[in-house]
Amino acid sequence: MESRAIINTENIITTKELFTRIKRLEQELNYHCSDEYSKELKALKILERNVEAAATVSTYEPGSDLVRDSYLEEYKKAVQTLRGTANTGEVPFRPVDFGGITYWLRQ
């Protein structure tokens, strides 16, 4: 199964997608050298370190969302709609840098 490239123009990236893509790139680079894969892997490994620095133990289960800063308000509205009108409290987010773009890690 081919995983797709992860770049910092996406509105939502799950940590599960991130870790799966890193493993896939590492496997691909074991078989053949590719500048494109190497460049993407380097960027994703930096993102992985940034996520780990911002994460709590529960963050990785089952795959937390990384939400692009420009999409955060729309994302919050969608989550609130899914929850219904009941006020269940604010979901905490922590900032994570991905190539100069701020993403918010949903805790």
pLDDT in tens, 68-104: 999 999 999 988 888 765 555 677 899 999 999 999 9
Kind and range of the H or E element at 13? strand 12-14
**Structural domain harbouring 85:** 12-106
Residue 4 lies in a domain: no
Tally of domains in the chain: 1
**Would you say residue 80 lies in a domain?**
yes
This prediction's pTM? 0.83
Tokens representing 25?
A: 């790139």
Please report which helix (H) or strand (E) contains residue 65, including its range: strand 65-68
Q: Answer whether residue 50 is part of any domain.
A: yes
- List CB contacts of 59: < 8 A, sequence separation 6 or more: 15, 51, 105, 107
Helix 35-54 to helix 15-31 angle, to the nearest 10 degrees? 150
What is the per-residue pLDDT across 26-51, written as a single tens digit (0 to 9) for each?
988 887 777 888 999 999 999 999 99
